[in-house]
Amino acid sequence: MLYNNQRPYTTALITVNPVELKKRTSDPSEAALLIEKEIAEYLKGGKNDGMFPYRWLPSAFAVIEEPFTEKNGMVNSTMKIVKHKVYSAYASRIEELYTPAGKKSTSPANLEVLGRLLKEN
């Protein structure tokens, strides 16, 4: 999910498919850099350049463990994101993305989440 709300840059909350990610790496730092590389494919010169306006592309992202589902209330019965619930649940992670340390793809919070996801199963 993308977030901006008149902030200096757009950020994103990202869920990953741990099974697919484990096929590519078991290292949390490398996983964070893989995600960063995937996002970069939408920037100027990337294979998906021009698909979206640049201002919509995230400059920072937070990896979160739990996908948005109807069960956890993050999406409604029509499968639309319930933004206020997501913003409330992830307010601290979103704010962290606007700090120098939090803006890095290899932030401690991202590495912690990716470490747990890569160890599961």
pTM of the model: 0.90
Number of domains the chain contains: 1
pLDDT tens-digit profile, the chain (121 residues): 999 999 999 999 999 999 999 999 999 999 999 999 999 999 999 999 999 999 899 999 999 999 999 999 999 999 999 999 999 999 999 999 999 999 999 999 999 999 999 997 5
Q: What distances in angstroms separate CA 108 from CA 10, 11, 29, 32, 41, one per listed residue? A: 20, 17, 10, 11, 24
Q: 49-75: buried (b, 16+ CB within 10 Å) or exposed (e) per residue?
A: eeeeeeeebbbbbbbbeeebeeeeebb
Write down the pLDDT at residue 121: 57
Residue with tokens 């307010």: 91
Give the structural domain span for 28: 2-119
